[in-house]
Amino acid sequence: MASCSVGFGRLDGGLTCDGVSVEAIRDKIGRDSPFFLYSQSQLDANVLAYHSALDSLSMPGGAIIGYSIKANNNLSVLRRLGSQGTGAVVVSGNELRTARLCGIPSDKIVYNGNGKTKAEITFAVSEGVLLSVDSQFDLANITACAKASGAAARVMIRINPDIDPKVHPYISTGIMSSKFGIEKNLVDEYISAIQAAGPDVVSLEGLHCHLGSTISDTKIFQDATDAMLRYVDHVEAAVGAPLKVLDIGGGLGIDYYRGTKGDVSMPTPMDLIDSIRSKLQGRQFTFMLEPGRSLVANTGIFVAPVTGTKSNGAKHFVVVDGSMTEVIRPSLYDAYHHIEYTAAGVEPAAEAEEEKKVFDVVGPVCESADFLGKDRLLAVPHTGQAVAVFDVGAYCYTMASNYNMRVRPGEYMTSAGGSQLCTIRKPEEFSDLIRMCIAADEIDPINIA
Ligand code: LLP
């Protein structure tokens, strides 16, 4: 990797973030502390790539980047994205609160979810955001909540188009065996139910689908677009009016191998749009995408100091102060995250091929599933070395836990082109872990006999 003023690179062998030495950042934060580090320049570049792609469509009804905030909900990340014009896609009342708190306007927010509670729906209706209808009970709840609150619910129907995105089964969401979306053959029934409720209660504004995550082939988006445009035509004919929105979801993958594996080539946002451009020509609706990972994943690294090395027979381990509690994706999806040391080797020889060994990079958590990387060819780490786990800006902090009473680490972001470092979330402390437990002398039993 060459030194780079946008994102992560190398200078004199040491890892850099926005051109600044990660070792120097470790000196500031504390060399023994694990932490997440985000590159603001990379974030800006990623948003720009989406804006350029969507702007190039020149849709008469406009286009919206609905940032899927489950990927990374740090307020600073959201404010930065919001200030650059992105909308938000939320899946809980609290994500909706967070999006609003960060200044994202209601007319750019979509609320998805297969299990929205009545309280969440009522809140979403009062905020005027677009809700996706996921099932019959969901539509019944939306109708009831809208009636009770006296405001119309703006909705899209989320269709499960039964297209296989060819990704890990846990993150495949648009096939019939998935719990998401309505059965595609039942669209007419939903239209009838919405029409029966009346436009002052439920206003049908569009259609939605989301096939899955880590999609690497634009053909999948083409298939989704073809299928959804057929539904748009069908629904428009049935209701006798144009739909305002078509939202084909998120799911664009990233190259987690960071160019180290020859056969991986990942489409860019422009490649995605190019692949469906002609299909959208002449359409009047607002076109929406819901990217999460492809906006934020490559903006972050997780820095974990090396605690030691050990061998069990022929198996060698680098044990770090970082684990499945901060980066669960390897354990949960068998996902690959690239790993490198932050500092250059002390001796140049330490980086030489013959000095390297095949290591599993593991954490201290009491689970054999606790690994960050398996079978990695790495130099034997020198004292004080740390690993950087790459592409952790999406679905890592948001999926972090306190298992084994590990505190969640701090999050930091560069700003002003790398000349400043900002704490954007403080590291937790022991007191945070026991805060919600009731002290022995404050326990107040309720009689339930
Ligand atoms: N829209 C909907 C309706 C979604 O369910 C998701 C992700 C997205 C958009 C954003 O997808 P993206 O562009 O980030 O792929 N924890 C898993 C990913 C779960 C994704 C869930 N839905 C992982 O770490 O890979």
Whether the per-residue pLDDT at 306 is higher than 70: the answer is yes
Q: State in Å: Cα 291 to ligand 1 middle.
A: 8
Q: State in Å: Cα 254 to ligand 1 middle.
A: 13
- Centroid of chain to Cα 135: 24
d(CA 144, CA 122): 9
pLDDT of residue 350: 47
Q: Select from 18, 132, 120 the least CA-distant residue to 68.
A: 132
Q: State in Å: Cα 251 to ligand 1 middle.
A: 6
Whether the per-residue pLDDT at 351 is higher than 70: the answer is no
Pairing of strands 20-21, 14-17: antiparallel
Confidence of residue 164 (pLDDT cuts 50, 70, 90): confident
pLDDT of residue 1: 47
58-106: per-residue pLDDT in tens? 999 999 999 999 999 999 999 999 999 999 999 999 999 999 999 999 9
Q: Which atom of ligand 1 is nearest to the CA of 399?
A: 16
d(CA 192, CA 400): 42
- As a whole number of angstroms, the longest Cα–Cα distance in the chain is 75
pLDDT of residue 354: 57
Q: Which atom of ligand 1 is nearest to the CA of 168?
A: 25
pLDDT of residue 435: 97
Confidence of residue 171 (pLDDT cuts 50, 70, 90): confident
Confidence of residue 353 (pLDDT cuts 50, 70, 90): low
Confidence of residue 3 (pLDDT cuts 50, 70, 90): low
d(CA 449, CA 435): 29
d(CA 220, CA 210): 11
Confidence of residue 152 (pLDDT cuts 50, 70, 90): very high
Whether the per-residue pLDDT at 2 is higher than 80: the answer is no
Mean pLDDT of 140-156: 98
pLDDT of residue 352: 58
CB atoms within 10 A of CB 50: 26
309-339: per-residue pLDDT in tens? 999 999 999 999 999 999 999 999 999 999 9
The residue whose CA has the least distance to atom 16 of ligand 1 is 395
Share of the chain above pLDDT 70, in %: 97
For the sheet with 14-17, list strands across it: 8-11, 14-17, 20-21
Q: Select from 375, 364, 360 the least CA-distant residue to 307.
A: 364
279-298: per-residue pLDDT in tens? 999 999 999 999 999 999 99
Q: Which atom of ligand 1 is nearest to the CA of 214?
A: 15
SS3 445: coil
Mean pLDDT of 34-53: 98
Phi, psi of 188 (to 5 degrees): -60, -35
Distances (CA, A) of 182 to 155, 177, 197: 14, 12, 18
d(CA 412, CA 17): 11
396-425: per-residue pLDDT in tens? 999 999 999 999 999 999 988 888 999 999
DSSP 283: -
Q: State in Å: Cα 91 to ligand 1 middle.
A: 11
Whether the per-residue pLDDT at 243 is higher than 70: the answer is yes
Record the tokens describing residue 372, joined without a space.
């960050």
Q: State in Å: Cα 93 to ligand 1 middle.
A: 17
> What's the mean pLDDT when you consider all of the chain?
95
Kindly list the catalytic residues: 366
Q: State in Å: Cα 29 to ligand 1 middle.
A: 31
pLDDT of residue 202: 98
Least confident range from 158-162, 263-267, 276-280, 382-386: namely: 263-267
Which of 68, 114, 220 to mutate for ligand 1's pocket (most ligand atoms within 8 Å of CB)?
A: 68
Within 6 A (CB) of ligand 1 lie 68, 71, 89, 112, 171, 173, 210, 213, 249-252, 290-294, 329, 333, 394-395
The C-alpha angle with vertex 12 and arms to 9 and 17, in degrees rounded to 5, equals 30
CB contact at 8 A, 213 and 293: yes
pLDDT of residue 399: 98
Share of the chain above pLDDT 90, in %: 89
- Centroid of chain to Cα 367: 25
CB atoms within 10 A of CB 79: 15
Q: Select from 6, 28, 1, 32 the least CA-distant residue to 17.
A: 6
Least confident range from 6-20, 30-44, 291-305, 335-349: namely: 335-349
The residue whose CA has the least distance to atom 14 of ligand 1 is 292
- Determine the number of helices (DSSP H) and then strands (DSSP E) in the chain: 12, 21
Mean pLDDT of 147-170: 93
Which of 213, 221, 289, 399 to mutate for ligand 1's pocket (most ligand atoms within 8 Å of CB)?
A: 213
Mean pLDDT of 247-270: 93
Say if residue 153 is exposed, middle or buried (CB neighbours under 10 Å; 0-12, 13-18, 19+).
buried
CB contact at 8 A, 394 and 296: yes
Confidence of residue 178 (pLDDT cuts 50, 70, 90): confident
d(CA 343, CA 208): 46
Which of 67, 130, 248, 290 to mutate for ligand 1's pocket (most ligand atoms within 8 Å of CB)?
A: 290
